[in-house]
Amino acid sequence: MHLGPSARRQVLAVIWLVILSGVLWIALGWYLDADDYTDPLRSWRHRVLVLHGVVAYVLLWIAGRLYSLHQQGNWRAQRNRASGLTLSVALVLLAGSGLTLYYPPHEDWRDAFSMLHQVLGVALVLLVPLHVWLARKDRQRRRVNQ
């Protein structure tokens, strides 16, 4: 159930890379001229999105690999449930809405799914540190009570 130091580093590095690449894509959009197709920023933005898609796959693989020990194990042990569940639901919704960006059920809905994906994505900026902080607090409390 306990994440070892290297597993913790790996999960956090990948999660922050997904968040950073998503936020960078949004930020580059503010400086992009929508009518100028020669703007080099456009191809950089595309590369950032490719990176995002690739690391998002890696994140899903890592989250799946953690599932039985970390999510299920800690859930059964009733540890850090609220933030763990919120983070897990957010990741599932991000994966689902990410998929609709590749295959929109209807072209008119793409912008709405994109907005949902971006709002959930930016929410991870708070959710991830919150989950880690609550985990540390819980660990300290247990150590004091031992």
Q: Residues with Cβ < 8 Å from 95, sequence gap 6 or more?
A: 56, 60
Candidate list 17, 28, 49, 116; residue touching ligand HEM; CB under 6 A: 49
Instruction: Decide: is 55 part of the binding site for ligand HEM (CB under 6 A).
Output: no
Candidate list 41, 85, 109, 129; residue touching ligand HEM; CB under 6 A: 85
Question: φ and ψ at 34, to 5 degrees?
Answer: -60, -25
Residue whose entry in the numeric block shows the structure tokens 């800690």: 74
Question: φ and ψ at 56, to 5 degrees?
Answer: -65, -40
CA–CA distance, 125 with 123 (Å, rounded to integer):
5
Residues making contact with ligand HEM (CB under 6 A): 2-3, 8, 11-12, 18-19, 22-23, 25-26, 49, 52-53, 56, 59-60, 63, 66, 70-71, 74-75, 79-81, 84-85, 87-88, 91, 94-95, 98, 101-102, 114, 117-118, 121-122, 124, 131-132, 135-136, 139
